[in-house]
Amino acid sequence: MGERTIPTSRNKESGSGWAIVLALIIAVFGIPIAVGGAYLISLGGSWYYLPAGLGLLLTSYFLFKHSKNAVWIYLITYIGTVIWALWERGFDAWAQVPRLVAPTVILLLILLTLPAFRSAMWRSRSGVAVAAIAVIAVIGVMNNDRFFTKTAIAQEESSATVAPVEQTPVSEMPAVDGNSPSTSKSRGKSEEIVEEPAAPAETNFVALKSGEDWPAYGGTHMATRYSPLTEITPENVENLQKIWEFRTGDLPEDDEPFGNQNTPVKVGNRLYVCSALNKISALNAATGSEYWTFDPKTPMDAIGYNASCRGLVYFEDPTVKSTDLCAARVINLTHDARMISLDTETGQPCEDFGNNGIVNLLEGIGDTAPGFYAPTSPPTLVRDVLVVGSQVSDGQTREAPSGVIRGYNVITGELEWAWDMGRPGETGLPPEGEIYTPGTPNMWTIASGDDELGLVYMPMGNSAVDYWGGDRSEEENTYSTSIVALDVETGKVAWSYQTVHYDVWDYDLGAQGTLVDFPTDDGPVPAIVMPSKQAQFYILNRETGEPLVNIEERKAPQGGVEPDRLSPTQPFVTDFPNLLKPELTEADMWGATPLDQLWCRIQFNQASYDGAYTPPTVDQPWIQYPGYNGGTDWGGISISPEGIMIANYNNMPNFNQLIPRKEVDKLGVLPITDPNYDPDIGGGSHGSISPQAQSPYGIRVNAGWRVPYTGLLCKEPPYGGIAAIDLNTRETLWDRPFGTARNNGPFGIPSMLPIDIGTPNNGGGVMTGSGLFFIAAATDDILRAIDIRTGEEIWQTVLPAGGQATPMTYEAEGRQIVVINAGGHDFMETKIGDYFIAYALPKNTSSPAGD
């Protein structure tokens, strides 16, 4: 007896038409899954995709034949998929999205849109049981306790809808000492972490503190990002509302890369902000009204990596009358390499500083293309010396501008010293006709400083060509990707500690080091806590550079194009929590559907990957994990006096490949210094090529390892997180994904889903004495308040643009105010804006701010 076919009544004709459409859709997926699955097996990968693809093709065939066998074959394929998915990844909901969502959709289409198939199936008890088991299995996965954590979102200018969590005030927390009534094991005797050491009597500098004011980028130049203010608490934070908004007017005219990351400075009744194109504005700290704005007329072609002004320096001169011009001043760096000093009352340039208020930072640098040497971070002020570094655009040419670090007198702008590692022993300007050593590691981020010790701590970057080091000097190999402490009086190296040996991964130190008294078995020790892109925390005695945690030299992968020059070991912190995640496996690959997950699995098996520090390769791609935007970047960390450290971090790989010089030249990829340079050819971060001129290779970097077309990332979520660590017990208090999926989705279409996926994030946060941590940073354009004890978000509001800047808080007219720069970021693909927004409690519910 032949196979029974579906009746051809008029009601069934519609179902037959849908069957053909569905058969075509399934075939479109089935062919590449089967072919790709066979190729994946040849690479040594998973055997699932080939039989799954064949199952789809058989399903498609029988749908064309109008045979109910299509239902049975697909059910077998689907059940096999569920079993495989649970075996490979368990009840991890995000991991199951590409494994089960699309197959479940197809199952529902087969069962619900094909009446003939459906009626035939429901007549079979076994069919009912099979379908029920399959659907229940998927529901079980999606309702697992570890599934999405939903959060409510408050609209801009409205109070939050998330109720506060009952909490013990920070003032009642046990101090960081050996007698703390903690259930965790103490590391020994210690005392409360002190943010500001007393200044020695022989100096006349003024060391300001955070609290009522916020006098420096990191709160102070010790960079704890902590305020003792307590008016805004976990109990009343839900009442926060926007009280003013200030717009700078600096927005892209065409496709210029913008991404302002400004943290304002506040002293007295004035707030000083800096725009993407380096305009400085003085605002009333309570109302946001403008006192003055100074426009340095920074040209668009001076923009380097992006248009950003992270911060300003505030200085008071105690040797003159407070009414004198520039008795108090703010200092700013511009993209076209000028250092400008302005009177805080009037906004006028300080005539005694440099040349009528301006110092030319290109002196000694030599000829350079616009945007190549482009400062974005503020100087650091230590003992009346402005310590200045600069961003130098990555990946261009070995003959890049020097990474020289210079110290300038804060009053006169005179050069006091220069640390040029290529000219040891020389601390002044180069001889006439010469320049500072080209291509040396630079400090593009922010230094921190200790007035008592007279030391400035510089997180150093890499040499000019990140992914090849064959002609680096001995000095470059010593100081690249190192914490370097300079004597601020002389510019001489006091000590240095290298966090990556022979860095060919662009693992430059991007965060500002935080200075605290670190608890040890022998009592508190003045320390620097240095976060890294490798998601580790290097904690060193800030006077001597000696590690205060155990740092072990572990064997590192070898090979690549420089096997004779790679370091055989790399340093790993072993007795302090890190945020480094397990090594990647094929099962970690992701996507929106089985098809793009298969693509990522194929790429994983095609690439070279031996774990962290896999060396660069030219004959095949290599996986760099964490990627160069991993761990902690410019936002830094926050540490409270009780010893609670909060760090947000990224958890993404790069998919890179070195490109031979001949191929780079053939493609016309040129450095920024070439007269024929075309910014539209190469030089990007999402798969295009950077030239690395004057080296054997260019470099293709796929930052985040994106899937073609959909733009999703190959690694499964989360892509970013946030964690709290107790410095006293050296234990992680909590660690969770950070950032919702509301602005993310395939093909760049926002999903609008308020579920915690853990997004890429850049920018730090500020901790307060009441136990709150304010941060935006993620790609969902949300400013949050987090309970530092639990990690729970207890207030949030939507920003009008990306919040890739560190917020700050201060007191003005008896109110605690929180301010953030919503400037967006081109690389993070968040909305670009020019906003400074302030939040406070309603006046009728405010209580006096405390310290």
Distance CA 401, CA 602 (A): 40
Q: How many Å apart are CA 498 and CA 500, to the nearest integer?
A: 6
**CA-CA distance, 714 to 704, in Å (whole number)?**
8
Q: Collapsing DSSP states into helix, strand and coil, what is residue 634?
A: coil
Three-state secondary-structure class, residue 713: strand
- Of residues 447, 445, 477, 520, the one with CA closest to residue 223: 447
440: left (phi over 0), alpha (psi -120 to 50) or beta: beta
d(Cα 510, Cα 155) in Å, to the nearest integer? 33
Residues 6+ apart with CB under 8 A from 844: none
Q: DSSP state, 828?
A: T
Specify the DSSP element, H or E, that contains 62.
Answer: helix 49-64
Angstrom distance (rounded) from CA 714 to CA 723: 24
| Cα–Cα dist 103/607, whole Å | 28
Rg, C-alpha atoms of the chain: 29
User: Cα separation of 672 and 293, whole Å?
Assistant: 32
β pairing state of 793-798 and 537-541? unpaired
378: tokens are 């503020």
Q: Which H/E stretch holds residue 315?
A: strand 313-316
Helix axes 10-42, 49-64, angle to 10 degrees: 160
For 482, list phi and psi in degrees, rounded to 5: -125, 155
Residue 65: count other Cβ atoms within 10 Å of its Cβ. Answer: 15
What angle, 0 to 180 degrees and rounded to 10, lies between the N-to-C axes of helices 69-89 and 49-64?
160
Instruction: Give the tokens for residue 422.
Output: 């290529």
| Residue 814 DSSP label | T
Helix 69-89 crosses helix 125-142 at what angle (to 10 degrees)?
Answer: 30
The identity of residue 788, as a single letter, is: I
Q: Which of 394, 506, 517, 588 is catalytic?
A: 506
For residue 319, the tally of other CB atoms under 10 A from its CB is 8
- Tokens coding 277: 């194109």
CB atoms within 10 A of CB 322: 10
What secondary structure, in 3-state letters, does 81-104 show?
HHHHHHHHHCCCHHHHHHHHHHHH
Nearest Cα residue to 406 out of 375, 451, 369, 367: 375
Q: State the alpha helices, DSSP H only, in 579-704.
A: 594-606, 661-666
The two tokens of residue 487 are: 């004597």
Max CA separation in the chain (angstroms): 108
The letter for the amino acid at 169 is P
CA distance 719 to 630: 9
Give CA angle at 246 (226, 224), nearest 5°: 10
- Report the C-alpha gap between 328 and 322 in whole angstroms: 7
Question: How far is Cα 463 from Cα 600, in angstroms, rounded to an integer?
Answer: 32
Does the active-site annotation cover 506? yes
Nearest to 260 by CA among 703, 838, 784, 832: 832
DSSP H or E stretch at residue 697: strand 697-703
Residue 91 CB neighbours (<10 A): 16
Going by C-beta distance under 8 Å and a sequence separation of 6 or more, which residues neighbour residue 645? 529, 637, 638, 639, 724, 725, 726, 727
Query: Which residues are the active-site residues?
Result: 506
